[in-house]
Amino acid sequence: MNAPAWLVAVCATACLTLTVSAATVSAPSSSWTVLSGNYDYLADQQTGQPAGDIVGSGTNGGFFTTFNDNGSASNTDGTLGFRLRLDAAGGNKNNIAFDRVAWVGIDANNDAVLDAFIGLGMQGSSSTLGIYAPGTDLNTSPATTSVASTAYKSYSIDSSNYNYRPVDYTTDGGTTNDATTSTTGDPDYYLSFMVNFRDLVNFLGTKGISITDQSGLRYVVATSTQMNSLNQDLGGVNGGVNSPTSWSDLGGFSPTVSAHGTPVPAVPEPSAFFLGASSVLLACLRRRRA
């Protein structure tokens, strides 16, 4: 009897030691981990502002992650980073700047509910980078997702945790600096930011969710014009900022990966696990008797 595919995948993952290179916040995208998928449908953002439109697919990735353990052997600290590819520069030609909000929502226990948010807001004279709790809504779809008004943990923004620059495919990888046909001639821009992983671990612990840098996480990525909603563009979703359809059914979740960006197989329900494990054990016993 052959072992179920998911059981083989889980066992293989447990036995492998993977080395993943870390990137700085300004490093070329070739040293980041691209999260596969269509990030995003081109020119689908809701406010008519290309600087908030998440773009990219295939080799011209639209959503990336990276992790740096900072030389520590602990599996609950380090630096977790995200990078979005946006259709155009924000600000104006004399002062190019990211001038809106970016959100990364995190499903940390594979139940299709967003458990935490990492938010970057750069509006006017106000700027913030932090880890936020979900709001009191269900947080299972765009229409039911909300974010707490106050950060659980805030960070001072500097060149070590924030970067905004044009795409350069000669070093970043891909085939073009401009992934959209509607804005041909101007480069896309990368928005990158990083937070302390232990702070995320501690926050999720307050919700009864325990993670390490090897745990399976999946992400929702969005841009917004304000800090209390996801109202501009949703990564991997064609419009739908007010949709009641679940994040899963919309295709809004990234693949499930560790903090390092390594794919993590979905773990089945306990009953299915024990049934599969029992089948494998029974097959082994039969072979020994033969």
- Could you read off the pLDDT of 245-284 as tens digits, one per residue? 999 998 899 999 999 999 998 665 444 444 554 554 455 4
Percent of the chain residues past pLDDT 70, beyond the cut: 78
The rounded distance, in Å, linking the Cα atoms of 36 and 23 is: 18
Give the chain's mean pLDDT.
Answer: 84
Please work out, in degrees rounded to the nearest 5, the angle formed at the alpha carbon of residue 122 by the alpha carbons of 199 and 236.
75
pLDDT at 48: 59
Question: Alpha-carbon distance 148 to 155, whole Å?
Answer: 16
pLDDT band at 123 (very low <50, low <70, confident <90, very high): confident
- For residue 228, what pLDDT is reported? 84
Q: Per-residue confidence at 29, pLDDT binned at 50, 70, 90?
A: very high
Please check the confidence at residue 226 and state whether its pLDDT lies above 60: yes
**What number is the average pLDDT over the span 221-226?**
92
Backbone angles phi, psi at 60, to 5 degrees: -95, 70
7 touches 277 (CB < 8 A): yes
15 band by pLDDT with thresholds 50, 70 and 90: very low
Which of 13, 35, 81 lies closest to 253, judged by CA? 35
The band of 285, judged by pLDDT with boundaries at 50, 70 and 90, is very low
| Residue 18 reports pLDDT greater than 60 | no
Would you state the structure tokens that stand for residue 156, as one six-digit string?
């001072």
Q: Estimate to the nearest angstrom the gap between the alpha carbon of 168 and the chain centroid.
A: 22
pLDDT of residue 180: 83
143 or 37: whose pLDDT is higher? 143
Q: Which of 111-125, 164-178, 243-257, 268-282 has the lowest mean pLDDT?
A: 268-282
Residues 60 and 85: beta-carbon distance below 8 Å: yes
pTM of the model: 0.84
Domain spans, the chain: 1-18+268-290, 22-261
Count of Cβ atoms closer than 10 Å to residue 188 Cβ: 28
pLDDT of residue 264: 96
Give the single-character DSSP code of 213: T
- Percent of the residues in the chain that have a pLDDT greater than 90, as a whole number: 65
Cα 107 to Cα 290: distance, rounded to the nearest angstrom: 46
